[in-house]
Amino acid sequence: MNNTQTILAIDVGNTNLALGLFSGETLQKHWRLSTSHERMGDEFGIQFSQICEHENIPPASFNGIVVSSVVPPLTERVVYACQQYLGQDPLLVSSNLKLNVTIGYDDPTAVGADRIADAVAAKALFSIPACVIDFGTATTFNAINAESEYMGGAILAGIGLSAQALFQRTAKLTTVELKAPPSIIGRNTTHAIQSGLIYGYVALVEGMVARFKEELGQETKIIATGGHVNRISSLTTAIDRVEPWLTLEGLRIIWEMNR
């Protein structure tokens, strides 16, 4: 008898909506969609249904759905879509659920659901202490100490958001592709902007990692995830593991702990 559970994990971010289909502990399929803040519940439902139809996955095969969201206006729409189009009430991630970490934030309810999922995955899959860097719309540094406590961390504008602000607020600087230039010293404006954005962000990451290790310990495992992770991870030795779908893994683990 096959007792393998089939789980759909959905992470609603400010820029992207990530979905992952798990068979047991294995991430079988994953998708990353753009987040439209105007999209209604029925539109999400139709989109989810189309994915299931395209992949030949009957929604009735899901044993559970788990959702994390940092976009409150969209949360209830995604829940509605799961109920009406996939036929299930999803588990919503919050600090009130059973977790493998304790939340040491001053206000545990203020911790983003994605940050909770990242911390849970880091504890379950890697050694602690750990620091998870999530390169999304915002870049977050998330500290888990040796006592399995999610301590908090740091939040700053993501690299895409930083680039957008630079181009919008400077009259003579034009939009460039976010990639590393041939050398750190840019010999034209495009390469100079790319150097500042990419290598400036690398230096920021390395500096923050060094400071986090001063507080957590030098043995701290540095894990990187998020939509922009590949822009930075190959340019620094400060990151130990690159796990692009870490948040989805955390959602699966949270579902298993609370089913």
- The answer to whether the CB of 81 falls within 8 A of the CB of 19 is no
- Rounded Cα–Cα distance for residues 136 and 120 (Å): 18
DSSP for residue 173: P
Burial class (CB in 10 A: 0-12, 13-18, 19+), 33: middle
Q: Is residue 118 among the annotated active site residues? A: no
Q: Which of 11, 114, 118, 134 is catalytic?
A: 114
Tokens of 91: 């588990």
Which of 192, 132, 177, 136 is closest to 13 using CA atoms? 136
Which of 4, 140, 3, 14 is closest to 74 using CA atoms? 14
- Rounded Cα–Cα distance for residues 259 and 233 (Å): 35
| Beta strand spans in 163-229 (E) | 221-225
Where in the sequence numbering do the catalytic residues fall? 114
